[in-house]
Amino acid sequence: MSLLSTTLSYDDLKDADMVIEAVFEEMGVKEKVFTELDRVMKPGAILASNTSTLDMNKIAAFTKRPQDVIGTHFFSPANIMKLLEVVRGEKTAKDVLATVMALGKKIRKTSVVSGVCDGFIGNRMIEQYGRQGGFLLDEGCTPAQVDKAIEKFGFAMGPFRMGDLAGNDIGWAIRKRRYQEKPDMKYSKTADLLCEKGRFGQKTGAGWYDYVPGKRDAIPNAEVVQMIEAHRASLGITPRKISDEEIVQRLVYSLVNEAAHILEEGIASKASDIDMVYLMGYGFPVYRGGPMLYADQVGLFNVVQSMNRFAQNPLDDASFWKPAPLLARLAAEGKTFN
């Protein structure tokens, strides 16, 4: 087996998902791309896609070799981040999966197998984490307060610093699609307002924070805080003081609940794979073992109790905080994920 590959610079890679999303936005373009690859590539060549927001099974169906199509989701910056999500489609052959897993080992990546869903394991979970970050802004927090709380917990960076690093316009493009596909899904509008100002993050020198050329230090911006306060006022929300404990619990438990759905659906085969994704790809504190192991240590009963409390918050998303059936069952039985 051989793997179709292209040499890209860091600047190419850091916005790869956004570029692919934009290119594939028009119906039929992705079909043409993979139909052409299918035509020109030699038999046995593996056709791989990096994106986390396209259906690998649909992409595979555009070819005459669906058994040779697989996802290889690298994490930005790809030359540094150790995680590689290897996405197995419904028809991906065992030897193709084995080849790509071996490739991951050869290039010194930590490879985790994922099934096909929007966002795979890591990005599907991080969307819920980001939604909670937005709700916390609506309710009274600043980006710096949220980031400092979760960084004190041990994360490499908080959701807003992470957004600035990845590019806020990438999340904006995904939300625009969500508004069409899932109109009942609730989001804070603060991130959209930020993007409308052209504050896309480090690459533009301005996002949730300001950045000095050549440096990555996040400098709080008073106008961004004013924008959040004005939006909050427009919604008639009276800000409240939110503890660091609540910030951490809402961010981390949002990961846990979504991960429980992922396990139940068979997207991930075991809880430790999810933990590895977050340790290697998202800066989860290593000494806490990953979101699933951390939830086990806190006690799943306690996690569920906190989630039930968050569901009573009218400014949050009550439907999301309904415990995933797997989580509810394990908590009731006094069991753990691992």
The long-range contacts involving 298-303, CB below 8 angstroms and separated by at least 24 positions, are 300/327, 300/330, 300/331, 300/335, 300/336, 300/337, 301/331, 301/332, 301/334, 303/253, 303/256, 303/327, 303/331
- Give me the pLDDT at residue 270, please: 98
Is residue 107 in a domain?
A: yes
List the structure tokens of 297.
Answer: 């240590």
* pLDDT recorded at residue 243: 98
Domain ranges, residue 21: 2-114
The answer to whether residue 187 is domain-embedded is: no
Q: Is 73 one of the catalytic residues?
A: yes
Domain membership flag for residue 313: no
Give yes or no for a contact between 231 and 129, defined as CB atoms under 8 angstroms apart. no
Q: What does the DSSP 8-state code read for residue 110? A: E
* pLDDT in 10s for each residue of the chain, 338 residues: 434 333 333 343 344 344 334 434 433 566 788 899 999 999 999 999 987 778 899 999 999 999 999 999 998 788 899 999 999 999 999 999 999 999 999 999 999 999 999 999 999 999 999 999 999 999 999 999 999 999 999 999 999 999 999 999 999 999 998 999 999 999 999 999 999 999 999 999 999 999 999 899 999 999 999 999 999 999 999 999 999 999 999 999 999 999 999 999 999 999 999 999 999 999 999 999 999 999 999 999 999 999 999 999 999 999 999 999 999 999 999 999 99
- Has residue 227 been placed in a domain? no
Q: State the Cα–Cα distance between residues 49 and 53, nearest whole angstrom.
A: 10
User: 111-140 burial string, b = 16+ CB within 10 Å, else e?
Assistant: bbbbbbbbbbbbbbbbbbbbbbbbbbbbbb
Length of the chain: 338
Q: Is the peptide bond before 77 cis (omega within 30 degrees of 0)?
A: yes
pTM of the complete model: 0.89
CATH number for the domain harbouring residue 83: 3.40.50.720
Residue 164 and residue 202 in contact, taking contact as beta carbons nearer than 8 Å: yes
Residue 280 in contact with residue 81, Cβ under 8 Å?
Answer: yes
In a domain, 220, yes or no: no
Question: Given the structure tokens 């065992």, which residue do they identify?
Answer: 94
Rounded distance, CA 179 to CA 19, Å?
20
Please name the amino acid found at residue 265.
E
Residue 248 domain-assigned (yes or no): no
| 163 found inside a domain | no
Tokens describing residue 25: 């936005």
Positions of E strands within the chain:
2-3, 45-49, 69-74, 83-87, 110-114, 209-210, 219-220
Eight-class DSSP state of 282: S
Please answer whether residues 253 and 291 qualify as being in contact, where contact means their C-beta atoms are separated by less than 8 angstroms.
Answer: no
**What is the pLDDT, as a whole number, of residue 293?**
98
Of the residues 14, 30, 73, 261, only one is catalytic, namely 73
pLDDT of residue 32: 82
Tally of domains within the chain: 1
Helix (H, G, I), strand (E, B) or coil at 313: coil
Domain for residue 296, yes or no?
no
